[in-house]
Structure 1
Amino acid sequence: MAKLKKQQQRTTGVGQLSLVEHALCPLDSRNSLVENLVYDAEYFYSYGKTRKAALARVFCPLGLSASDELYLWGLLALTMLQPEPESELFATPHWFLRQLGVINQNSKRGGRQYKQFAEAIKRLSAVTYLNDGFYDPVRGEHRRVSFRFFSYSLPVDLKSCRAWRISWDPIFFEMVKDSAGHFRFDLAVYRELDAASRRLFLFVSKILSRRTRVNALRLEHVAVNLLGFSSSLQTREMKAKVSRCLKKLVELHVLADVEIFKTSPGKYFVRLSRGPYFAQKQKHSYAPAPQDSPLFETLQAIGFEDAAAARLINRFPTRVLAEWADITQAAQERFGNEFFHKSPMAYLVDSVSKATEGNRSAPDWWHELNRSERQKHEMNAASEKLFSRIRTELFGGVADSPKAPASNTKVTHISELFKG
């Protein structure tokens, strides 16, 4: 049973219910990895007896890759699987990637996977998401929203042993944390699929967990808004690309029966039916052991033995322990072991004990170090002006008149995008 629980932890992803209704960026990396990318999508929802369209706009100052979504959903899952999920997650990149199944226990630091992870979270942290019909599960209504996914703080030197800090946007995290705002899916299955099939898998994981079939989805909507293919594709090309994604999910038994059918010249629809995959899904309760904590490897790196690290994790609040573990490691790297009167372990235990009682605060030099690391990732002035324009186009209001965007950036007015 313990082995089953541990496997469940490592293969669980968490998706946000409204975000999986549409793509976050184009599938074509030549179009998605340009600076100041602006991506537009729509989807439909029921408002009483009325069918309404939600218009989403995703602003990506550093671009965004469809493969980055693995880290977004995986980081959400690792946050939500903690005993008391908080909006901040502290862990080494090795722990993140091992829990997500990207590397195994024996993988070394500094490899290709670590570089890809660092680049992905850098792009994701810069994204700003706007939507004029986003479902807010806390308030039980559709609302206009604007939020970032997360911010992060990590050492400038990627060879540092200090933990990385992921801090979720408070509005986004509030809606994800609510039980009606997220769903879980099989991350192992997701990881094996191509980018387009991953998006379709998330969508059907949400929709078909509550119903047995979906009778008619417009082919163009599935191809362009849901999967992220170019709207310039011919209908026959869209049909071929969507068919390949459907076939992969049928092979995995996620879908049992699929059909792309025509109702009139040029109008095609997609029909989906739930596969046996959903009947096999089982819910397992998971009570993480201290060894599964994202802080466990950090405490080991400071010098604690396994039993001592486990006692600290059980004894002190996660946020306080994570902060002082980072201060201890930063002091080791910046000042050396002569900084400590006895040892790094003794310094950490003494500091976290007094901080928990409210008798010690973080040193000024550590705050200054964090400020210098944050400044490397702030949005520049050009991106701020472009975002102001995007927000005004979607929500209305008055914005500063920005300079023309870069020639490789396509900024489409909502009125033109959804004309007709």
Structure 2
Amino acid sequence: MLNPSSKFVISKCGRGVLIALSVLKQATKRRVGVGQLSLVEHSLCPLAASNTENLVHAVEYHYSNAKRQRKTAKVRIFAPLGLSAVDELYLWGLLNLTLAQPTVDGSLTATPHWCLRQMGIIDPGSRRGGRQYQQFAQALERLSVVNYLSDACYDATRGEYRKVSFGFLSYSLPVDPKSSRSWTINWDSTFFDLIHATGGGMRFDLSLYRSLDAASRRFLLFILKVGYRKGRLPVLDLRHLAVDLLGLSNRLAIHDMKVKVARTLKRLQDAEVIASSSIKRMEPGRFSVTFERGEYLNRLPDQINRISVQDSPMLEGLLAVGFENPAAVRLIKLYPSKLVAQWTDITQAAIEQFGPQHFRVSPMAFLTDSLKQASKGVRTPPDWWQDAKRKEQRTQQPTEAGKQVLSKLLHEVFGPERSASLSSDKPERAADLLKKFVET
């Protein structure tokens, strides 16, 4: 990647100028992630990769209530398909891409290529449909069935800690893995409201985050949350840091915890996030972890800008239909985002299912006319497309063991009376069971 200050010769050819400007833009582009303030206080799953079905991860974190009293929040994360610490990269990255859209409505419609390129996981020349796409789809599948329960999650809108239960996201994507159509990600409304509220989320440098190992990533977000002010950073208990924040096993010997935590401290010290870190013995079997502010905390990145029309996730779909770049940009500017995304998907689905001969004139003419008519309210999506969308909707059903684990968690966190109202007459997704429980 070129340094923006590097000198180089630009061809007199117009295309050469565009290529050079594009390279400069990519070189200076800042990748950003978004984390929710309570969630970055603790790990979301064990640090070791876990594909165990019906995984339950129990953690705690400390907070101060309105009377400045120190309290302990108890959290349970239920992952029916398991969860990996690497999945957090997709979670925080996709949240930022959603919030950076011109219209923020709790959903993101984009191709996997666009998402991974915006997050810096692949470059523009990466082969479509490769290993990164499979990992992305698998991470989405795991994240889509996660259920989070906490007895004290910070709600920035209300300015208080509240009992909560929510999922992260749901999605709809083409059944055919070779399809070039966009994927749709819909965020759980309770979770998204916590993130979207002013003061409910924090932005961070995704490039630095991606360069670290999983333990250092978690510690980085915690430090960014508590270190945004100029004061001293907190002193942490070694076991709490290792088990609850980083996600190490509580069965590890204290000596092994010290070794692993020291390795994480060194990585963040090398990145200048912290300085002068040390682990001190307080009493037999108990240690404290201290560290000071690193230079990185004094040069935190600015808040991101909205994604421009030229970077819109809808642009790829319109170009795939056959539009030239200027015409595609005009359509994105002229019509609402959801309408463009919907009719682009209908057009691409028709090309894949029926072929180009399905259109009387051309796919571009059909899409342009459909947008014009749909914006007036006189054209609705065809029945065959609605049927296809229903087939693509993911309906993960929990196992009987998973339903029993979830019922036990609800009983533990919210009490026996409310958890008894959870009906099991017919199979439902775990996230839907939670929503039904919360509404009772």
TM-score by length of 2: 0.87
SS in structure 2 opposite 1:268?
A: strand
The structure 1 residue matched to 2:260, chosen from 233, 236, 241, is 241
Q: Is the 8 A contact 1:389 1:402 kept in 2?
A: no
Q: Is the 8 A contact 2:55 2:78 kept in 1?
A: yes
Letter paired with 2:46: P
Match of 1:91 in 2: 110
* d(CA) in 1 for partners of 2:213, 2:142: 20
Aligned counterparts, 1:133-148, within 5 A: 133-148=152-167
Q: Is the 8 A contact 1:136 1:143 kept in 2?
A: yes
Aligned counterparts, 1:190-205, within 5 A: 190-205=209-224
* d(CA) in 2 for partners of 1:238, 1:267: 11
Q: Is the 8 A contact 1:9 1:81 kept in 2?
A: no
* d(CA) in 1 for partners of 2:218, 2:208: 12
Letter paired with 1:276: E
SS in structure 2 opposite 1:213?
A: coil
Unaligned runs of 5+ in 1: 404-420
Q: Does residue 322 of structure 1 match 2:341?
A: yes
* d(CA) in 2 for partners of 1:321, 1:215: 49
Distance 1:375 1:149, change over 3 A: closer
CA displacement at 1:240 relative to structure 2: 0.9
Match of 2:51 in 1: 33
Match of 1:294 in 2: 313
Moved more, 313-322 or 373-382: 373-382
CA displacement at 1:116 relative to structure 2: 0.6
* d(CA) in 2 for partners of 1:68, 1:38: 16
CA displacement at 1:5 relative to structure 2: 7.3
The structure 2 residue matched to 1:22, chosen from 42, 62, 69, is 42
TM-score by length of 1: 0.91
Aligned counterparts, 1:102-251, within 5 A: 102-251=121-270
Match of 2:87 in 1: 68
What is the CA deviation profile of residues 121-164 of structure 1, one whole-angstrom value per residue up to 9, with x for unaligned ones? Answer: 11011111111100011111111111111100001111101100
Match of 1:409 in 2: none
Match of 1:352 in 2: 371
CA displacement at 1:43 relative to structure 2: 0.3
Q: Which has the higher contact order (CA 8 A, sep 6+)?
A: 1
Letter paired with 2:55: L
Aligned counterparts, 1:242-391, within 5 A: 242-283=261-302, 286-380=305-399, 382-391=401-410
* Cα RMSD after superposing both structures: 2.1
Letter paired with 1:158: P
Letter paired with 1:248: R
* d(CA) in 1 for partners of 2:279, 2:327: 59
Q: Is the 8 A contact 1:5 1:284 kept in 2?
A: no
What is the CA deviation profile of residues 226-281 of structure 1, one whole-angstrom value per residue up to 9, with x for unaligned ones? Answer: 00000011111111111100000000100022121122221111112111102222
Q: Is the 8 A contact 1:15 1:183 kept in 2?
A: yes
* d(CA) in 1 for partners of 2:64, 2:352: 55
Distance 1:396 1:285, change over 3 A: closer
Letter paired with 1:36: N
Letter paired with 2:329: A
Q: Is the 8 A contact 2:216 2:264 kept in 1?
A: yes
Count of matched residue pairs: 401
Q: Is the 8 A contact 1:5 1:286 kept in 2?
A: no
